[in-house]
Amino acid sequence: MAEKVQLWALALASCDSATFKQLSLFGGKIQNIATVSHSGLSLQIPYAQNYYAKNVTNLDACEVAITYTHPGYNDVINTVVWLPTPDHWTGRFLGNGGGGWSAMVEDNATLAWAASEGFAVVTTDGGHIGGAGPEEWALLSPGNLNWNLLTDFASTALDDAATLGKAVTKAYYGKAPDHSYWNGCSQGGRQGYMMAQRYPEQYDGILATAPAVGYGQIFMQFYWAQAVMNDLGEYPSPCEFEAISVAAVKACDPIDGLEDNIVLSSNECDFDPSTLVGHEHVCPSLNSSATISAAAATVAKETWKGSTSPSGELLWPGLDKSASLAIHARTQCFNGTCSSNPAPLPIGWMKYFLAHDPDFDTTNISTVQFDRLFRESVERYSSVIGTESTDLTDFKKAGGKLLTWNGVADLTLGRRYIENYVKKVYARDPNASDYYRYFEAPSVDHCGIGPSGYYPGDALKSLIEWVEKGVAPETLEAKVRNQGFKKANLCLWPKKMVYLGGNGTDASSFGCK
């Protein structure tokens, strides 16, 4: 105990900006370095960012905040590193991803979790503060995109963070990390794929879940259901869409042989929402009721199918039937009249990145106009912020390992898009499973948000085993978040989880086929 106290005393003495005064960044200029010594920190950390809930107590850590710029870019980027005490450091380094328009998760809890697990951890704001929407930074002026800030956010700041984070780690502990990992979901998943594709030597292992690999395409896909409703001239109530989602899960759930509100066999489910037309449904969560319309059934089918061109070409795959329609088919009702209520993400994308005009009218975009805007997204931005490239050759050569899981019931991004990506990678390299593995999590929502489905909160541990011991995961241990006693193992793609019979709460009751 005395030795640990002595080590921490030495660490406290070195948790000072002077310790890091030799930091430099090629192409960048360090403007400020500030440090904070956290002592005895205790936090209740919820489920998030690929891990289970945890009580952190008496955590001691050194926080290092670096502000820098790229001369000529007129940018300011903030990178933060947390360092556990020397006796608690495992020799591992972790890059932590963001979500939405945020390059980083905006709370100390995420960094505290990583430090409590023995990681030196880094995160970056990507050149704009927090989750600020594009209205705050995307345009230099109407009509003029701020390409420098977009590039920072898309890729440059991610590489910088890894370089700076490792330098801070070495300055503090006196040695470089033994192994480096990435952890991120959604935007953080896209960031992970960007690191694997563009900066393949920065991280030994990358956990990139529910990754937004087709960034512009995904943002446009958010609007597809709205465009369909605009064509129809009808906007069904939220209760109608909830009723369809509930009925779909009820119809699809028994196919796997176990009725537990978790859908294992959605691909075999042929539920048709048209069978609900004319039926009344009560929505307790919305404090309302509604009669299902033909328009609601049409929008649901289109959302499940995915966006298409006027000639019928599939542009982007849709949601699984087990996913809620609440994000894509958003509407709002006042005094019995319902109207479109699209999610903010596609609105911001179209206004600032496609039209470059804050006043661009997005209220009545048709499916024909959608097709044009979708293609513009691909042409302009795939090479900038997209991570659709299936060439992971350099990452393979660097010895990296990429692990991805995605919720089948992801109501935000869906799951078919990433399955299509995986198929292309494996078609390109039949031995891709040596360095790239994908798992599907039945009935799990976006990034594990929500209580249902089998959530693999220890996937990072599986990645570490793969990198450091060569034990490639064939399954991922998972459990239902609000029913910790209910467990199962996720299956390595292309295998699917199947119910074998017996106690539905035991992992042994499920297999992979």
In angstroms, the CA 226 to CA 244 distance is 17
b/e map of 197-234 (b: 16 or more CB within 10 Å)?
bbbbebbbbbbbbbbbbbbbbbbbbbbbbbbbbbbbeb
Q: Which two tokens stand for residue 123?
A: 């995160």
Asked about 410 being catalytic, the answer comes back as yes
Name the active-site residue from 116, 410, 443, 452: 410
Q: Which two tokens stand for residue 337?
A: 């009249």
Name the active-site residue from 245, 265, 446, 462: 446
> Taking a C-beta distance cutoff of 8 angstroms, is the pair 76, 143 a contact?
no
Number of helices (H) and strands (E), helices first, in the chain? 14, 22
Q: Which residues contact 245 (CB under 8 A, 6 or more apart)?
A: 323, 324, 325, 326
In angstroms, the CA 512 to CA 455 distance is 16
Q: How many alpha carbons fall within 13 Å on the CB side of residue 6?
A: 3
According to DSSP, the β-strands at 483-491 and 497-499 are: unpaired
Name the active-site residue from 180, 186, 293, 324: 186
Asked about 186 being catalytic, the answer comes back as yes
Contacts 24+ apart (CB under 8 A), 26-30: 27/70, 28/68, 28/69, 28/70, 28/71, 28/77, 28/160, 29/68, 29/69, 29/70, 29/71, 30/66, 30/67, 30/68
In angstroms, the CA 169 to CA 438 distance is 31
Residue 499 backbone zone (phi > 0: left; psi -120 to 50: alpha; other: beta)? beta
b/e map of 16-43 (b: 16 or more CB within 10 Å)?
eeebbeebebeebeeeebebeebeeeeb
Residue 416 bridge partners (DSSP): none
The residue type of 283 is: C
Question: What are the φ/ψ torsions at residue 315 (nearest 5 degrees)?
Answer: -90, -45
Residue 498: strand, helix, or coil: strand
Asked about 446 being catalytic, the answer comes back as yes
In angstroms, the CA 172 to CA 408 distance is 42
Residue count (the chain): 513
> Taking a C-beta distance cutoff of 8 angstroms, is the pair 448, 412 a contact?
no
Return the active site residues. 186, 410, 446
